[in-house]
Structure 1
């Protein structure tokens, strides 16, 4: 079940993308923003559906882009948290979704009708500039994920995903089954099971009743590849240039 309410100041402050906006630009968006609460597994949109809303995850909330296959399997292509947004980022007007977007970790989103976001982009060059730069960051994230899947082993990729989730939620507990993690990484459950058993024996984590708890964050971090760091560095560089020098004069 989901609910919507008018977006207040607190949720807006818990999304880093919205925090990049100055008060003048944020006021353009504010009248049309609402807070939307999503539970784990709630589908934001399916492939082929018109993207009616743009969602900004707040705080520990996570969303996942997943590509669906004819046999019913799905693989995650991007994990989105408070650093970004889901839907309607670069489109001009109404456009169909290519991937499924689903809530991965429950919590609040700030939501806006995509048509209203397009109007805000038309009114403000700086709003348009912000979303163009975020689109570049999201594309870089997907590029890096493609290279990671082709190059790094399952242990590195598993550690990378868990670190990315914890960085976004701030919680060492992740509600997730081994089957779900295997599906998102596009590997067999038996591979994940072997990794988990090994890490449990080493005291890195424990898994109980659909919740993974990391016991040694630094040991897990040492097992990941450097893909998270590469993406984070690109975000910091690109979004730091949201406002050109003349915008501050």
Structure 2
């Protein structure tokens, strides 16, 4: 690392790792491999052994389920969590698929090594993973209710805010395909929804790049799920450093 330059792979850039006592975090650091996460990176697939777990620093990973003729996103993970939760729960495979939807970077650990470290550090690491698991359950529950109970533009505003939080930026790349999966709508509906938010001065959407122009105004459009999920996470895994 160059002098005066912040380490982009400092483990404290991930909330799970930041929540660990320093000695536990330092112990894990040698087992964490810095990796780039380009858009489309597949982390695990249905029925296949999960080989590694990922602690995102920047970016958005999506947990999706493949239905007949469509793919539906069921949860997202950013710098607040870990991708590979089935490994923590003692399962070697998953019925879902995990992939990177907004490019970034992460710290990767071999799944078998992670299992070993959970056993060795069964105090702090297991406790932090347990509270993250509960936060994920909150997200899953809200997602299910949100799709049925909130309007598309409200859900879109919520997802844009969540993505901005995870990217630590008001400008990020986001494909129409991912937006459609997040909102559980057809891709043809994405332009209409994004166009309405743009017309209201909240965002600019051009060539796959979102720029949030007025965050406070966008918050007025977002459904209550944004606040509930964020507060649930912040209560157990407080933001560190540059997080909003």
Residue 35 (structure 1) aligned with residue 54 (structure 2): no
CA 115–50 in structure 1, closer or farther in 2 if over 3 Å, else same? same
**2:218 is matched with which residue?**
220
Structure 2: gaps of 5 or more residues: 1-6, 239-244
TM-score normalised according to structure 2 size: 0.87
How many matched pairs?
A: 230
**Could you tell me how far apart the structure 2 residues matched to 1:198 and 1:27 are?**
47
Structure 1, gaps ≥5 residues long: 1-7, 241-249
What do you get for the CA RMSD once the two structures are aligned? Answer: 1.8
Question: Aligned pair 1:52/2:51, yes or no?
Answer: yes
Q: 1:207 aligns with which of 205, 208, 219?
A: 205
Change (3 A) 1:230 1:197: same
**Which residue of 72, 76, 92 corresponds with 1:95?**
92
Distance 1:9 1:74 in 2: 32
SS in 2 for 1:41: coil
* Offset from partner CA, 1:6-43 (integer Å, 9 cap, x none): xx784312111100111221233222211111101111
User: Deviation of residue 44 (structure 1)?
Assistant: 0.8
Q: Distance in 2 between matches of 1:143 and 1:196?
A: 25
Once the 2 structures are TM-superposed, how far is the Cα of residue 53 of structure 1 from its aligned partner? 0.7
Among 71, 74, 77, the residue aligned to 1:77: 74
Q: 1:49 aligns to what SS in structure 2?
A: coil
Conserved 8 A contact 1:28-1:120? no
Tell me by how many angstroms 1:198 deviates.
2.0
Which of the numbers 109, 112, 137 marks the counterpart of 1:112? 109
Conserved 8 A contact 1:40-1:104: yes
TM-score by length of structure 1 reads 0.86
